[in-house]
Amino acid sequence: MSYIEFKNVKKSFEDTEVLKGISLSIEKGEFISLLGPSGCGKSTLLRCLSGLEEVTEGSFILDGRDITKDAPQKRNIGMVFQQYSLFPNMNVEQNLAFGLEIKKVPKEQIKKEVQSALEMVGLLDKKKAYPANLSGGQQQRVALARAIVSKPKVLLLDEPLSAIDAKLRKNLQIEIRRIQKELNITTIFVTHDQDEAMLMSDRVCLLNEGKIEQVGSPVEIYTNPKTKFAAGFIGHYNVLDADEFYRAFRDEKTKKSAIAIRPETIQISLEKQNHENSYEVQGKIIESRSVGSVLRYHVDLNGINVRVDTLFRSFSLFENGQDVWVSLEKRNCLELI
């Protein structure tokens, strides 16, 4: 049996069904991300697991115990919210001690635990500071320390980095992962940022409209998306239905509903390459844009717009309106369900 199990979890708000039967198993010490667009139900799922929302149907098993009906206070879960939710009337030390005091931990031990948690997040010198006097990044680190100080069975992170600027966000992503590994704490991380999910997680659970689209390791999800949604959401795949694929690459009609092609697996050149097991078709550059170190071309293939990513190199620059040859290895065409 897995450490955490979601069994057919359903949640409705009045007439709207937000979670449509989620079943998922999470192992002890695993870092899993719930990834999906806004409104897909990822935060609701987290709130249901924490007990802040009641499920309409289904159950949660944590460490062999059914916690579905337990109050949030009884679940032994730590949670970090998007807006930090630090207690403004308490300083950092008091914020961290709050949960331990409720559990009636002896004062000396509280002091030790708080000290060690603050050391872990690198905020020992700020223990007397009030939340109002801390930066966003520091507040989020305090929130993280507060969540882990009482050694919960599972740590829930509800988009904890979304209110933080890009540079600090990168640092905190690394820091959260480091702390998670150090404590070997089972962690569920909610995000809508696929790069963040890919960077931090052992596994990614992709959600869409209240249902799980795909669960797998970041590499697995990136290289082998199973559905149209997964292909579109992860890695900016070109998703072509059978008809479009036939028109673009002049191939026999596939029986699958759609084909996904990663933009970086398509090559463009001025002359035909004659590669084996590849599609080689002519097209016209209709737009080019630089995205950091990547040049993103939009190529018209017989009326079908296909995205192609190449590294920004002087010998691979093409003009808008230029006729080019497009080469695609057949093994890079992923058939979707």
Partner 1 sequence: MKKKNLIGNVWEFIIALFLILPLVVTFIYSFAGRWISILPENLTFDFYKEKFSDGQFFAGILRGIFASAVPVILTNVFVLLALFAVIVYFPKVEKYMQLCCIIPTTINGIILATSILSTYAGSNTIFSNRIIMLICAYCIFCLPLTYQGIRNSLYAVNTKRLLEAASILGAGEFYGFVRIIVPAVLPGLVNTALTTFAGLFGDFAIIKIIAASQFETAQTYLYKNRNTDIQAFSAGVVILLVLTMVINLIVHKNAAKDSKRRKEENV
Residues that bind partner 1 (CB under 8 A): 50-52, 71-73, 77-79, 81, 83, 85-89, 98-99, 102-103, 131-133, 146-147, 150
Residue 136 identity = G
Nearest approach, Cβ of 285 to partner 1 (angstroms)? 47
Nearest approach, Cβ of 263 to partner 1 (angstroms)? 40
| SS3 call for 201 | coil
Nearest approach, Cβ of 187 to partner 1 (angstroms)? 15
Q: How far apart are CA 286 and CA 323, in angstroms?
A: 10
Between 131 and 263, name the residue whose CB sits nearer to partner 1: 131
Between 102 and 174, name the residue whose CB sits nearer to partner 1: 102
Between 79 and 248, name the residue whose CB sits nearer to partner 1: 79
Nearest approach, Cβ of 236 to partner 1 (angstroms)? 34
Nearest approach, Cβ of 48 to partner 1 (angstroms)? 13
Nearest approach, Cβ of 141 to partner 1 (angstroms)? 15
Angle among Cα 192, 42, 256 to the nearest 5 degrees reads: 75
Sheet strands (E) in the chain: 4-13, 16-26, 31-35, 57-62, 65-66, 77-80, 154-158, 186-191, 203-208, 211-216, 238-241, 258-261, 266-269, 278-291, 294-301, 304-311, 323-329, 333-336
Between 88 and 106, name the residue whose CB sits nearer to partner 1: 88
- Angle between the 107-121 and 166-183 helix axes, to the nearest 10 degrees? 130
Q: How far apart are CA 320 and CA 109, in angstroms?
A: 68
Between 98 and 222, name the residue whose CB sits nearer to partner 1: 98
Between 61 and 105, name the residue whose CB sits nearer to partner 1: 105
